[in-house]
């Protein structure tokens, strides 16, 4: 499945490059039993070129032989894409240029064949020429794509440190502290960061230290505690689809906790203060969470909640985001579904219906509105009645909903769809230094909560620091490296 995801991602990226005029598609070169040259389309520099893969070469070298340069000083930058890697080469002179493709990456199928090798036989390596006027933009984007297709934590750490000026700290203590079910109470929140590109991108956008959150609820009839959450991915056998699910706490601790350690994810426990625990209506919280079980994850709400300012983490740009939405609409599947919901949100804001992205841009121009000002507008919870998908939840929006139903938020007016994980853990609802005994003396200096999983620190030094207020987090303009919120935003 991961190999398919890698290829689809690279394929989508190639479409983006062509539509954004960052690159030109020249052709695909297959791995055949015999050396079989093919003619490539003209690039930006060389008018003619042939390419082939030598099946006898130990490293399966793909060779491009080019000629007829447009000028004596032009440069051609080639990029090759397979299911599991991309390679670039800058060529100044005509002649032969080699790209070794072996060793294979990306795993083997059920019959023991390397997926990348089989793809080269069936479909071939895609060859592009990068527009040299936009080479920095192109290569930055592919550095981002490398984060998606490369196994391991390092590419994601590098991205956060380079583009968001964030420091990822290795913990001094054991990555595992086994807590018991008695350490968790209804209303307590768990924040988690799995080293996935999606969660890493949300961290870079908002400065948050965790990409996902959950809340404990308890069935008043049985006394069974549940970890309730809205998941963006099918993270376990208990969550059968993206969206809201309730997992028995005992099973979470026995199974999912171990899975989390294998994935190098991190988790921390934020218990409610004594005051807010007294306000927490456990029965109302459970009923609200249970009634939402199976509702879809609100990907579009993530888009609207994060774009509240001019800051967009590199290598993204306003133009690239619009291109992504347009390409996703063409590709289909979940990408088309997400793009469609974002377009529905823009239609709602414009007072129109059924307009696709190109027509939305025309409508914005006619109404004198910038499309990114629309994306930054408040995502009202009442819009759920207007979306074709109906009510949906991000992980943070869902937890806010449970807290609201339980009476913790009082009479405050706020929009769940505007809240992020950071907005949640910074609220002054959680008890600092209320550390379970198993976690005592295992916290880094300046940390006030129990991090019970993960080799890397979830920096919660700003947690439980902001008093909840009306219309919170609707207009916050965040900028790295401190991502400081303006008062009352």
pLDDT of residue 207: 84
User: Residue 465 pLDDT > 90, yes or no?
Assistant: yes
pLDDT of residue 65: 93
Residue with tokens 């030094």: 461
Give the up-direction half-sphere exposure of residue 169: CA atoms within 13 A in the CB hemisphere.
Answer: 12
What is the tens place of the pLDDT at every residue in 333-347? 444 556 677 888 999
Domain 181-297+393-453 indexed as CATH 1.10.3470: no
Q: Specify burial of residue 448 (Cβ count, 10 A radius: 0-12, 13-18, 19+).
A: middle
Could you give the CA distance from residue 422 to residue 460 in angstroms, rounded to a whole number? 9
User: Residue 172 pLDDT > 60, yes or no?
Assistant: yes
What is the tens place of the pLDDT at every residue in 194-231? 888 778 888 888 888 898 999 999 999 999 999 999 99
Residue with tokens 């490293």: 59
pLDDT of residue 223: 97
- What is the DSSP code string of 419-462? --HHHHHTBTTB-TT---GGGTT-S-TT--SEEEE-SB----TT
Between the CA of residue 227 and those of 182, 239, 436, 453, what are the distances in Å?
13, 11, 18, 16
Q: How far is CA 149 from the centre of its chain?
A: 13
Cβ(145)–Cβ(138) below 8 Å: no
Instruction: Give me the residue spans of the domains in the chain.
Output: 2-151, 181-297+393-453, 300-385
What is the tens place of the pLDDT at every residue in 72-126? 777 888 878 776 666 777 777 888 989 888 888 766 777 888 878 888 888 888 8
Six token digits for residue 130:
């990068």
User: Residue 234 pLDDT > 80, yes or no?
Assistant: no
Question: Does residue 198 or residue 8 have the better pLDDT?
Answer: 198
Q: Which long-range contacts (CB under 8 A, 24 or more apart) does 325-329 make?
A: 325/357, 326/19, 326/357, 326/358, 327/12, 327/15, 327/16, 327/19, 328/12, 329/356, 329/357
Candidates 452, 74, 71; CA nearest to 266 is 452
Question: Does residue 382 or residue 178 have the better pLDDT?
Answer: 382
Q: What is the dihedral of CA 72, 80, 40, 69, to 10 degrees?
A: 0
User: Residue 135 pLDDT > 60, yes or no?
Assistant: no
User: Residue 261 pLDDT > 70, yes or no?
Assistant: no
pLDDT of residue 140: 61
Mean pLDDT of 154-169: 81
Q: Specify burial of residue 38 (Cβ count, 10 A radius: 0-12, 13-18, 19+).
A: middle
pLDDT of residue 327: 53
Could you give the CA distance from residue 68 to residue 39 in angstroms, rounded to a whole number? 14
Of the pLDDT bands very low, low, confident and very high (cuts 50, 70, 90), residue 444 is: confident
Q: Kindly state the DSSP code that residue 37 receives in the 8-state scheme.
A: -
Of the pLDDT bands very low, low, confident and very high (cuts 50, 70, 90), residue 445 is: confident
Cβ(340)–Cβ(353) below 8 Å: no
Cβ(67)–Cβ(46) below 8 Å: yes
- What is the DSSP code string of 336-385? HHHHHHHHHHHHHHHT--S--HHHHHHHHHHHT--HHHHHHS---GGGGG
Which spans in 2-110 are helix H?
A: 2-19
Of the pLDDT bands very low, low, confident and very high (cuts 50, 70, 90), residue 149 is: low
Q: Give the total residue count for the chain.
A: 489
Give the up-direction half-sphere exposure of residue 410: CA atoms within 13 A in the CB hemisphere.
Answer: 9
pTM attached to this predicted model: 0.73
Could you give the CA distance from residue 246 to residue 286 in angstroms, rounded to a whole number? 10
pLDDT of residue 2: 39
Residue with tokens 């706020």: 414
Looking only at the bridges linking them, the beta strands covering 266-270 and 450-453 are antiparallel
Residue with tokens 């093919």: 38
Of the pLDDT bands very low, low, confident and very high (cuts 50, 70, 90), residue 11 is: very low
User: Residue 302 pLDDT > 60, yes or no?
Assistant: yes
Q: Which residues pair with residue 64 across a beta bridge?
A: 51, 97
User: Residue 19 pLDDT > 50, yes or no?
Assistant: no
Q: Which residues pair with residue 266 across a beta bridge?
A: 193
Torsion sign over Cα 176, 177, 178, 183: negative
User: Residue 167 pLDDT > 80, yes or no?
Assistant: yes
Could you give the CA distance from residue 344 to residue 398 in angstroms, rounded to a whole number? 21
């Amino acid at each position: 499945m991961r190999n398919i995801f890698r290829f689809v991602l690279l394929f989508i990226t190639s479409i983006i490059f062509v539509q954004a005029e960052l690159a030109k598609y020249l052709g695909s070169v297959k791995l055949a039993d015999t050396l079989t040259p093919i003619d490539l389309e003209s690039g930006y520099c060389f008018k003619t070129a042939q390419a082939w893969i030598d099946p006898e070469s130990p490293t399966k070298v793909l060779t491009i032989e080019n000629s007829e340069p447009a000028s004596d000083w032009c440069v051609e930058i080639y990029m090759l894409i397979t299911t599991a890697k991309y390679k670039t080469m800058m060529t100044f002179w005509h002649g032969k240029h080699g790209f070794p493709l072996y060793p294979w990456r990306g795993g083997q199928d059920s019959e023991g064949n390397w997926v990348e090798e089989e793809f080269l036989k069936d479909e071939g390596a895609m060859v592009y020429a990068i527009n040299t006027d936009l080479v920095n933009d192109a290569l930055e984007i592919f550095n981002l794509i490398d984060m998606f297709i490369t196994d391991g934590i390092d590419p994601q750490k590098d991205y956060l440190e380079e583009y968001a000026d964030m420091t990822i700290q290795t913990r001094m203590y054991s990555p595992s502290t086994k807590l018991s079910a008695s350490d968790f109470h209804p209303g307590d929140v768990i924040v988690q960061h799995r080293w996935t590109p999606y969660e890493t991108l949300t961290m870079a956008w908002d400065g948050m230290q965790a990409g996902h959150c959950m809340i404990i609820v308890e069935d008043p009839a049985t006394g069974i505690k549940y970890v309730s959450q809205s998941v963006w991915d099918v993270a376990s056998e208990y969550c059968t689809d993206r969206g809201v699910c309730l997992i028995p706490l005992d099973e979470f601790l026995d199974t999912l906790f171990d899975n989390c350690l294998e994935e190098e994810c991190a988790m921390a426990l934020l218990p409610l203060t004594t005051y807010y625990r007294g306000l927490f209506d456990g029965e109302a919280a459970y009923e609200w969470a249970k009634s939402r079980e199976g509702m879809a994850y609100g990907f579009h709400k993530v888009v609207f909640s994060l774009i509240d300012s001019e800051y967009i983490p590199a290598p993204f740009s306003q133009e690239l985001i619009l291109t992504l939405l347009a390409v996703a609409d063409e590709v289909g599947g979940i990408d088309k579904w997400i793009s469609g919901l974002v377009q529905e949100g823009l239609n709602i804001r414009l007072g129109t219906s059924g307009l696709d992205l190109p027509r939305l841009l025309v409508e914005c121009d006619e109404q004198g509105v910038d499309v990114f000002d629309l994306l930054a507008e408040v995502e009202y919870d009442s819009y759920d009645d207007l979306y074709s998908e109906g009510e949906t939840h991000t992980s943070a929006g869902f937890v806010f909903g449970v807290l609201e139903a339980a009476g913790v938020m009082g009479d405050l007016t706020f929009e769940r769809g505007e809240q992020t994980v950071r907005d949640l853990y910074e609220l002054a609802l959680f008890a600092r230094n209320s550390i379970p005994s198993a976690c005592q003396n295992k916290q880094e200096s300046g940390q006030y909560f129990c991090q019970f999983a993960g080799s890397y620190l979830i920096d919660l030094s700003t947690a439980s620091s902001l008093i909840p207020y009306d219309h919170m987090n609707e207009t916050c303009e965040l900028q790295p490296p401190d991502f400081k919120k303006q008062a009352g935003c």
